[in-house]
Amino acid sequence: MNSPLWTHLVKDLRIEWRSFDAIISMLFFSGLVVVLFSLAFDPRGEFSQQIAGGVLCVATMFASVSALNQAWTREIRHQVMDAQRMAPASEAQLFLAKVIANFLFVTICQVVLAPVFFILYNLQVAGEAWKLALVLPLGTWALVSNGVFFAALAMSSRSRELVLSIILFPIFIPALLAMVLATGSILTGDGDPNLWIKMLVAYDIIFTTVSLLLFETVLHAE
Amino acid sequence: MPAQSSEVAPEQTALCASVQQVSKLFGSFAALRQVSVDFEPGRCYVLLGENGAGKSTLLRILAGLLRPTMGKITVFDKHEPHDARERIGYMSHAPMLYDELTAVENLRYFAKLYPGRQCLAPEEVLRQVGLDPALTRTIGQYSQGMRQRTSLARVLMPIPELLLLDEPFSNMDVESVRQMVELLAGFRHASRTIVLTTHQRELAAPIADWALTLRAGRVASLDRGSPTL
């Protein structure tokens, strides 16, 4: 386990373990969104079953952005990124490790949030519940891989937090739609979520590949 | 008067690095203007000049972290310093270390980013720079001088052949500077090249072979031997 990918990943997990910065901010933010939505709509009605998928996805998206904004902060501080740019290890592995680390942080957040969400919205899964275990990770990967890439792109910008949201949200729309429709379909039991799951798989493959190919250029941009 | 290659390397030796007519523009501001210098192996070059003279820019260009707007650069026979990056060590003003990790954890992390290259053991290189490898404090809890030493350890660990140091003596006490100069002298004797910038020219005098003074992005003078006070 001496590959640079593993080295970067262990480093990111170790730093998060010591601070819990990303996970705590995400949990707080997503918890707040879920509670606010439950206050805005009657969470026990039939309507809640229909909008629950969207609420969960939007809560995840907003929470993830708060973490993704910080994805490269530690590398920018003290110019650690320059040391990484000068090391001969492949840049793609640095990117992939950062995506995996953030994917794990968001997944932990979702695992903690899910029971709260099901209780607050009094949800019964009418469809095949196991498919949620496909939809949520696929949608999360789409969000995180794009988010890490665009956070790197926005690194040199003075208002990088705003830039990330402005670029990320429009590009994430197809994946968000697929994620919301698939989750809604699984929760209500109406329709077939398979098409949306396939779309998420295709989206992940395309955007992860493009990000991997372009990351070196982004990293070395002046 | 811009330094010509012939002034710097009169002997026919293979050059470690060479910049020819290099200019660097940041918008309309010219940080470097037609700078030409050759760097011989096994020599220590001290870059002098006021703030904004272009010292750090020249180092970053040699490190491959900046691209020259005009001119040619060669490092270890490569026209892109990036292609020779595993042979270059660069230390900047900032420590380039993670605050949340200890010195040993930081060094272990960076050592693994040099696959296939023989690196010094983190504990050994920390002792060389005068730090205790058993310290469990994270870098964020270190003093500025200790961070500077750890940063030097990070740079020395992959045993680079070209060492680029930006203000290595800042924030260090006299004894630490003396230790660092001794360490750098040993490094130079192993036929490795050092290019360092400093405002404290007297501190670099014991190891300097060439003193290169930059003024407003141009080479103002190039003198053999220690920089004069």
* Closest-CA residue of chain B to A74: B98
pLDDT reported for residue A127: 84
Per-residue CA distances from A92 to A36, A97, A193, B82, B110 (Å): 39, 9, 32, 16, 16
Q: Average pLDDT, stretch B188-193? A: 86
Whether A2 and B115 lie within 8 Å, measured CB to CB = yes
Q: What residues does B35 pair with on adjacent strands?
A: B22
* CA B131 – CA A123 distance, rounded (Å): 58
Instruction: Give pLDDT, residue B151.
Output: 95
Identify the pLDDT of residue A5: 95
What CATH number labels B17-224?
3.40.50.300
User: How high is the mean pLDDT of chain B?
Assistant: 89
pLDDT recorded at residue B227: 60
Q: Considering only alpha carbons, which residue of chain A is nearest residue B68?
A: A222
- Minimal C-alpha gap between B100 and chain A (Å): 6
Mean pLDDT over B178-194 rounds to 88
Residue A4 to residue B94, Cβ atoms within 8 A: no
Do the beta carbons of residue A172 and residue A143 sit within 8 Å?
Answer: yes
Distance in angstroms (rounded) separating the CA atoms of residues A167 and A95: 18
- Kindly indicate the confidence band of residue B228, based on its pLDDT and cuts at 50, 70 and 90: low
CB distance A88–B85 less than 8 Å?
A: yes
Q: Give the residue carrying structure tokens 């469809």.
A: A127
pLDDT of residue B162 exceeding 60: yes
CB contacts of A17 in chain B (<8 Å) are none
Q: What's the pLDDT at B13?
A: 59
Minimal Cβ distance to A11: which of B85, B96, B109? B109
Q: What is the pLDDT of residue B226?
A: 65
pLDDT bucket at B6, cuts 50 / 70 / 90: very low
Query: Distance between CA atoms of B220 and B227, rounded to whole angstroms?
Result: 13
Q: What per-residue confidence (pLDDT) applies to A1? A: 66
Query: What span, in angstroms and rounded, lies between the C-alpha atoms of A79 and B97?
Result: 8
Tell me which of B2 and A121 has the higher pLDDT: A121
Distances from the Cα of A38 to the Cα of A44, A52, A116, angstroms: 9, 9, 11
Question: Are B67 and A2 inside 8 Å of each other by CB?
Answer: no
Query: What one-letter code names the amino acid at B23?
Result: S
- What pLDDT band is residue B36 in, cutting at 50, 70 and 90? very high
Q: Which residues of B touch A9 (CB under 8 A)?
A: none
User: Does B7 have pLDDT greater than 80?
Assistant: no
Tokens for A27, please give them. 């949990």
Residue of B nearest to A94 (CA): B113
Which chain A residues are closer than 8 Å to B114 by Cβ? 87-89
Cα distance between residue B158 and residue B84, in whole Å: 13
Taking 70 as the threshold, does the pLDDT of residue B5 lie above it? no
Confidence at residue A188, expressed as pLDDT on a 0 to 100 scale: 86
How much is the pLDDT for B201? 82
Q: Give the model's pLDDT for residue B21.
A: 95
Question: Is ipTM over 0.95?
Answer: no
Å between A154 CA and nearest CA of chain B:
18
The answer to whether the CB atoms of B86 and A88 lie below 8 A apart is yes
Asked if residue B188 has pLDDT above 70, the reply is yes
For B41-69, the pLDDT digits (tens) are 999 999 999 999 999 999 999 999 999 99
Shortest alpha-carbon distance between residue A81 and chain B (Å): 7
Average pLDDT over residues B29-47: 94
Tokens of A159: 């208002």
Q: Which of B85, B97, B138 sits opposite A80 (nearest CB)?
A: B97
**Tokens 């072979």, residue?**
B209
- Residue ranges in chain A whose pLDDT is less than 50: none
Minimal CA separation from A118 to chain B, in Å: 36
A2 and B117 within 8 Å at the Cβ level: the answer is no
SS3 B199: coil
CA torsion, ordered A54, A58, A61, A66, to nearest 10 deg: -160
Q: pTM to 2 decimals?
A: 0.89
pLDDT of residue B9: 44
B115 reaches A (C-beta below 8 A): yes
Q: In what order do the strands lie in the sheet containing B193-197? A: B88-91, B162-166, B193-197, B44-48, B210-215, B218-224
Q: Contact B122/B157 with Cβ under 8 angstroms?
A: yes
- Provide φ and ψ at A83, rounded to 5°: -65, -35
pLDDT at B187: 86
Percentage of chain A lying above the pLDDT 70 cut:
98
pLDDT at B81 exceeding the cut of 60: yes
Residue among A2, A83, A220 whose CB faces B110 most closely:
A83
Domain ranges in chain B are: 17-224
Tell me which of B57, B69, B98 to substitute to probe the interface with A (most A C-beta atoms closer than 10 Å): B98
Please state, in angstroms and rounded to a whole number, the distance separating the CA atoms of residues B154 and B173: 20
